[in-house]
Structure 1
Amino acid sequence: MSTPVRGLTVLYDAQCSLCVHLRSWLLRQRQLVPLDLVPAASDEAKRRFPRLDHSRTLREITVIGDRGQIYTGPAAWVVCLWALAEYRPRAHWLATPAGQPFVRVTMLAAAKYREATASGAAAGTPCDERCSVPG
């Protein structure tokens, strides 16, 4: 018997304009499962989740379920959509083999956007580790 997820914590990069925009968007949606959005690698995140690799949470979206489930990469994007009333059916489809390529393309596009908008990118300096393309 599986225990239902009753809440999710989304760790987001508070220094990334795309991440901050998506945080705001998530908060405006009707949630079937409550989402708690916490800046990645913040004191609060480190206090709540001391065993996480917090530098990794700045490079890759990380979502933690109320029972300790950890979702990263494509699974994290899908579980965020699954928590939303309007997007749950789409999340079910995105979790299938047919939908997984769409999740991958979306993640690659987001990584490219982050790379292009990271501080210093416009000045020609290399992007730091936060811009890496998800595995």
Structure 2
Amino acid sequence: MSTVQSPAVRSLTVLYDAGCPLCVHVRHWLLGQPHLVPIEAVAAGSREAVRRFPALDHEDTLREITVVGDGGQVYRGTSAWIVCLWALAAHRQKAYWLATPAGAPFARAALLAAAKYREMTAAPCEGRCEVPGAPG
């Protein structure tokens, strides 16, 4: 029996909501940390995001954090937060723990708290949530 292995992750691209103060803050924090795996940030729903990742649902990337690995891996929600921590030198061990059954409730709670804060502080879309160049 053979096992299918995913390609190793050598870099990550975080799709973040450039109109959300929390998302912008987290983007700056992530990029300022020492990395074990390089992280790049691209505004979700931007022309650049659509060009790089044409198969993604870009409206969804504006609603939920999405991280794309260089091998085509796509992480959303809690998994996206955990893989970002995994890429950081100071937080890899924490990421491993958050990915366990014991840590998963904490990861989920942190994501829900961030989503609630984002909902309370982000400006209304006012047209910016439309994905440029997306079919539909």
TM bin (shorter chain): 0.7 to 0.9
- Give the Cα–Cα distance (whole angstroms) in 2 for the partners of residues 21 and 2 of structure 1: 31
Equivalent AA in structure 2 for residue 119 of structure 1: A
- Give the Cα–Cα distance (whole angstroms) in 2 for the partners of residues 58 and 70 of structure 1: 15
Q: What are structure 2's unaligned runs of at least 5 residues?
A: 130-136
TM-score normalised by length of structure 1? 0.86
Partner of 2:65: 61
- Counterparts of 1:36-47 in structure 2 under 5 Å? 36-47=40-51
Partner of 1:16: 20
- 1:30 CA drift (Å): 0.3
1:31-81 C-alpha deviation (Å, 9 max, x unpaired): 000001000000000000001000000000000000000000110000000
Contact 2:19 2:123 in 1 (8 A): no
Partner of 1:102: 106
- 1:3 CA drift (Å): 3.1
Partner of 2:97: 93
- 1:115 CA drift (Å): 1.2
Partner of 2:29: 25
What is the total number of aligned residue pairs between the two structures? 121
Q: Relative contact order, CA 8 A, sep 6+: which one is greater?
A: 2
Q: What are structure 1's unaligned runs of at least 5 residues?
A: 121-127, 129-135
Contact 2:45 2:58 in 1 (8 A): yes
TM-score normalised by length of structure 2? 0.86
- Give the Cα–Cα distance (whole angstroms) in 1 for the partners of residues 48 and 61 of structure 2: 13
Equivalent AA in structure 2 for residue 73 of structure 1: G
Candidates 111, 114, 119, aligned match of 2:118: 114
- Give the Cα–Cα distance (whole angstroms) in 1 for the partners of residues 108 and 101 of structure 2: 11
- Give the Cα–Cα distance (whole angstroms) in 1 for the partners of residues 96 and 34 of structure 2: 17
- Give the Cα–Cα distance (whole angstroms) in 2 for the partners of residues 85 and 11 of structure 1: 21
- Give the Cα–Cα distance (whole angstroms) in 2 for the partners of residues 103 and 29 of structure 1: 20
